[in-house]
Structure 1
Amino acid sequence: MKSIGKVLIALLTLVFAWFSINTVLAAETYPPPPSDSFYAEDYTGTLSVETKKHINAIGYALDQKTHAQVVVVMVATVPDGDLESYANGLFRSRGLGDKEKNNGLLLLVSMKDRKARIEVGYGLEGAMNDAKAGRLLDTFLIPAFKEGDYSRGVQDTYDNMVRQVMKEYG
């Protein structure tokens, strides 16, 4: 009986270790939010100072009025190339939007990967569905990026995301 108990303990220890290792390996690492710029996080040095100031001012005002948070994050590359999963994880790690309303929006731009995604909290899916998000990227972000005007592309996309939130809240 004692040997069965030891085997069970050893087996449980192995199972626990396996789950712990896989959890650590599966966890994404996200850059820490900067202390000076919650709504415009640029880890690439791409955005102009004016664009970051504009986004932070608009984002703060929107947050104060509606408790919705619209955030831009610029990264050089997504570690595993899976933009959708990375955006979702980053959205959750930042806790965007009001916890009860789940009304956050994230514009994630991966510069070297040449990819962008708008991640939407459930509380704003009526205001910003996948089709609208795609149209915003196609209309504002992509054309400006093709011209090399990254700040304008991000700012115009951001402003239109905020407009959609404001429509939702009247």
Structure 2
Amino acid sequence: MPLPDLEARVMDQAGLLTEPEIQSLTAKLKALEDRKGSQLAILTVPTIGDVPIEDFSIRLAEKWKLGRAGVDDGVILIVSMQPRRIRIEVGYGLEGPIPDARANRIIEN
């Protein structure tokens, strides 16, 4: 599965969101970045193929390089329709406030 280039804060390649939803999410992510400095992005894809979502998300994070240099405080929310998977990939700088267990609870709720 080729990794997409980062073109926007919200990239809805699976067509799950309406344009107003994309605009609203984009504005919220920008406001959070302006307030806290952390960079967040959302990617929806129709498929990740047979690649485990953990591997896909790590490779995507390495490609996109979200977060401030030296702080590594980026977050990516990835939604795959096939197979049906959701993952929150958290940069090292946010692993204290958002450990894997908390990210999993966010997804489950």
Whether the aligned pair in 1 keeps the contact of 2:37 and 2:68 (CA below 8 Å) is: yes
Answering whether residue 99 of structure 2 is matched by residue 129 of structure 1, we say: yes
Structure with more strand by fraction: 2
Question: Quick one: which amino acid aligns to residue 79 of structure 2?
Answer: V
In structure 1, the residue matched to 2:26 is 56
Answering whether residue 91 of structure 2 is matched by residue 118 of structure 1, we say: no
Deviations 1:130-167 (A, max 9, x none): 1111111111xxxxxxxxxxxxxxxxxxxxxxxxxxxx
* Larger Rg, first or second structure (1 or 2): 1
Identity of aligned residues (%): 32
In structure 1, the residue matched to 2:78 is 108
DSSP-derived class of the 1:80 partner: coil
Number of corresponding residues: 109
In structure 2, the residue matched to 1:29 is 2
Stretches of structure 1 that go unaligned for 5 or more consecutive residues are 1-27, 140-170
Q: Aligned equivalents of 1:129 and 1:32: distance in 2?
A: 26
Q: Aligned equivalents of 1:50 and 1:42: distance in 2?
A: 12
In structure 2, the residue matched to 1:47 is 17
In structure 2, the residue matched to 1:74 is 44
TM-align CA RMSD: 1.3
Displacement after TM superposition at 1:46 (Å): 1.0
Structure with more helix by fraction: 1
DSSP-derived class of the 1:76 partner: strand
Q: Aligned equivalents of 1:105 and 1:85: distance in 2?
A: 15
Q: Aligned equivalents of 1:95 and 1:122: distance in 2?
A: 12
List structure 1 segments (4+ residues) > 3 angstroms apart after TM superposition: none
DSSP-derived class of the 1:102 partner: coil
In structure 2, the residue matched to 1:98 is 68
Q: Aligned equivalents of 2:21 and 2:73: distance in 1?
A: 23
Task: State the TM-score, normalizing by the size of structure 1.
Answer: 0.61
Stretches of structure 2 that go unaligned for 5 or more consecutive residues are none
